[in-house]
Amino acid sequence: MLDIDDEKAFRILEEAIKKAQLSIEKTKFFQPFATILKSSGELEIFENEIEDVLKSYELLEQTLKESIEVEHIEVVVLAVDTAIPENFAKDVPQSIRLHLEEKSKIDKSIAAKYIYVPYEIYQVKNEEMYVKLHHPIAVGFPAEYIVK
C-alpha cells in the first residue's frame, strides 16, 4: 500500500506524463518543463520559451533551486524529451525523462530518480498522431534540488 507521500509523487508524475504526451501528439516533441507540489497542496508548472533544450533545462533547474529556497516544496518533477541510455532500452530510444525528488525521501542515500518513459509516435494515414507509452524505467541517485 502506498503512503500519502508516494501518492503525491505519483499524482505529479501522471500529470507531467500527460502534459508531455499531449505535446508530443501535437508537435512530435515537447519543451522541458518543471512541476512542483508545494506543502500547501498547490501545484505549479514552470515553462519557458527558450528553443535550445539544454538552455531551457538549465533555466528550469535554476528556477527550481530559487523556488526551493523560498517555498516549502514537497515534490519536484523536471521533464525533458530525451534519448534513453542505450543500456536501458534499445528497441525504443526516445523517452519522456522525469527527474523526481520528494521531500519525504531526502534522508535516503537514493533520494531522487530519473524515470524514463519510452514512447513511440504513430500516425495512421491522415489521422491524428498518437503516442504509445511503454513501461517506465527508474534509475535512482542522490537528490540535487530538495536537499537538507
Taking only the tens place, the pLDDT of each residue in 107-146 is: 888 889 999 999 999 987 777 889 999 999 999 999 998 8
CA distance linking residue 148 with residue 133, whole number of Å: 35
Residue 1: its pLDDT value, please?
A: 47
CA distance linking residue 38 with residue 84, whole number of Å: 29
Q: What are 55's three cell numbers?
A: 538552455
Tell me the Cα Rg of the chain. 16
CA nearest neighbour of 120 among 131, 106, 136, 107: 131
Residue 113 within any structural domain of the chain: yes
The pTM of the whole model exceeds 0.95: no
Residue 76: its pLDDT value, please?
A: 94
Residue 148 within any structural domain of the chain: no
Residue 60 within any structural domain of the chain: yes
Residue 3: its pLDDT value, please?
A: 65
Residue 147 within any structural domain of the chain: no
Residue 146 within any structural domain of the chain: no
Residue 24 within any structural domain of the chain: yes
Residue 14 within any structural domain of the chain: yes
Residue 68 within any structural domain of the chain: yes
Domain residue limits at 78: 4-141
Neighbouring CB atoms inside 10 A of 146's CB total 20
**Based on the structure, what is the number of domains in the chain?**
1
Residue 106: its pLDDT value, please?
A: 86
Residues of the chain with pLDDT under 70: 1-3
Burial code of 77-88, b = ≥16 C-beta within 10 A, e = fewer? bbbbbbebeeee
